């Protein structure tokens, strides 16, 4: 249940952001985030891409669950917002799948847990990094 609580808190935090944003600006920000995501994927090892695949699938599953649960849906900002987040996440998944295909990667199911708040390039837990086959220390420098 703490995982769902964590999801709900993140969705709630996003839905109560202080500055409303124009729709066109949201689209521009999404395109910028997609570019940063693609660049981050390029810097990932194959093991990191496996983690990122599991992470993104878990994120999409959470959004789909949220869309089916009225209480979660209300606290996440409503059906339109959750659907927009889901559609955006599917675009990120498309980039990830394209990157994996380019490298000839297939399958590689979940081998260890994922941290809902950390992409592959952000994963800080040393034990999980080892379990997924990552380098011992997270890379330093800018990330998406």
Residue 41: the pLDDT is 95
Residue 10: the pLDDT is 57
Tell me which residues of the chain have a pLDDT lower than 50.
1-3, 18-23, 143-144
Residue 116 and residue 8: Cα distance in Å, rounded? 12
Residue 100: the pLDDT is 95
Residue 111: the pLDDT is 75
Residue 110: the pLDDT is 60
The pair of structure tokens assigned to 135 is 């380098």
pTM, whole model, 2 decimals?
A: 0.77
Residue 96: the pLDDT is 96
Exposure of 110 by Cβ count < 10 A (0-12 exposed, 13-18 middle, 19+ buried)?
A: middle
Residue 19: the pLDDT is 45
């Amino acid at each position: 249940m703490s995982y769902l609580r964590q999801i709900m808190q993140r969705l709630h935090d996003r839905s109560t952001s202080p500055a409303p944003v124009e729709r066109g600006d949201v689209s521009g920000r999404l395109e910028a985030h997609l570019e940063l995501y693609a660049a981050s994927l390029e810097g990932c090892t194959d093991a990191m891409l496996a983690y990122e695949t599991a992470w993104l699938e878990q994120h999409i599953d959470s959004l789909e669950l949220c869309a089916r649960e009225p209480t979660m849906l209300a606290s996440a900002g409503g059906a339109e917002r959750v659907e927009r987040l889901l559609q955006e996440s599917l675009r990120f998944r498309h980039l990830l799948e394209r990157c994996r295909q380019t490298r000839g990667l297939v399958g590689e199911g979940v081998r260890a847990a994922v941290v809902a708040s950390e992409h592959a390039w952000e994963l800080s837990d040393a034990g999980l990094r080892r379990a997924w086959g990552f380098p011992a220390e997270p890379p330093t420098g800018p990330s998406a």
